[in-house]
Amino acid sequence: MQAEFEGFSSGSAIFTKHANRWRKLSFGVAVLDRLSGGGVPCRGIFELAGDPGSGKTQIALKLALSALQLSPDSCVVYICTEHMFPSGRLLQMEAEHKRLNADNETTQTHNFADHILVEHVRCVPTLKACLFDRLPKLLSKKTISLLIIDSITSPFLEEKDYVSRAESFRAIVRRLQQYQEQHNFTTFVTNQVRSVIDSATLDDEQIIPALGLAWGTLVHTRLQISRITNSNVRRCSVIFGPCLVPRHGYFHINESGPVDSSVDQQHMTA
């Protein structure tokens, strides 16, 4: 899609002229909003990487509820690639969300789950068909405030042609960026992690996001979470982002989903 040149604008004018470009979607979790500079922007690919069971899907569900709280007439598209959509957990989180917002009449009457549209894909061709064919048809009929891919990793695990895989990454991100420019929605993806050991010393094990540089260079902002051993506490770290500084914070998970942890106030570091 060729963008039309609109003429030069001052930096301050751009914020008012194109307010939707700079809008951010709150996580509904204070520590995650602080780390991300206010939430997930509606331009670029926002990635959350982490160990299995660290809370990636829990955060995705919380973000979906936050999007529908902000825009009740919109829908959330949730693409599952690893497991069945956790409907029971969503309903539990929705009930807790309504309980915690008992004074908000709109929240009490809104059926959040009905506005989350789920698609299950298992391979790269199916993922492309979903994003390239079915998603634009949906966008022409409904207002979408958030697209979630949970996770981006799974469809590409069996792909051995790394040149073709990199081309698929670029095609997917380019198409999503075009949709964002046209429809102003937020894109949030989860990613698995891999253990890497220094080949020179055979130690210094690192846990890094999967899919390598071919994918990582296309990501706008990346956070990474991990579980604290023998604890319900999770650690979230900023890996990179255009306007973010490296720091970390803590959260835990209860009936309502991810919430700030008491240790966050003690250990939040810049």
Tens digit of pLDDT per residue, the chain (270 long)? 455 666 777 777 766 666 667 789 999 999 999 999 999 998 999 999 999 989 999 999 999 999 999 999 999 999 999 989 999 999 999 999 898 888 888 788 888 999 999 999 999 999 999 999 999 999 999 999 999 999 999 999 888 899 999 999 999 999 999 999 999 999 999 999 998 766 555 556 688 999 999 999 999 999 999 998 888 899 999 999 998 999 999 999 999 899 998 654 444 444
Number of structural domains the chain divides into:
1
Is residue 214 in a domain?
A: yes
Is residue 10 in a domain?
A: no
Is residue 30 in a domain?
A: no
Instruction: Give me the pLDDT at residue 15, please.
Output: 63
Q: Report the distance separating Cα 24 and Cα 93, nearest Å.
A: 22
Instruction: Give me the pLDDT at residue 132, please.
Output: 97
Instruction: Give me the pLDDT at residue 119, please.
Output: 96
Instruction: Give me the pLDDT at residue 269, please.
Output: 42
Instruction: Give me the pLDDT at residue 17, please.
Output: 63
- CA dist 139 to 75, 110, 160, 177, 205, Å? 10, 22, 32, 14, 43
Instruction: Give me the pLDDT at residue 145, please.
Output: 95
Is residue 16 in a domain?
A: no
Is residue 266 in a domain?
A: no
Is residue 47 in a domain?
A: yes
What single string gives the DSSP state of each residue in 7-53? ----HHHHHHHTHHHH-EE--S-HHHHHHHTSSEESSSEEEEEE-TT
Helix, strand, coil shares, percent, the chain, to 5: 40, 25, 35
Is residue 165 in a domain?
A: yes
Helices marked H in 71-225 = 87-100, 105-109, 124-129, 135-139, 162-183, 212-216
User: Residue 72's closest CA among 34, 48, 46, 98?
Assistant: 98
User: Residue 150's closest CA among 243, 206, 225, 81?
Assistant: 81
Instruction: Give me the pLDDT at residue 215, please.
Output: 96
The CATH number for 54's domain is 3.40.50.300
Instruction: Give me the pLDDT at residue 204, please.
Output: 61
Which range marks the domain in which residue 202 is found?
42-260
Is residue 27 in a domain?
A: no
Check residue 222 and report its DSSP letter.
Answer: E
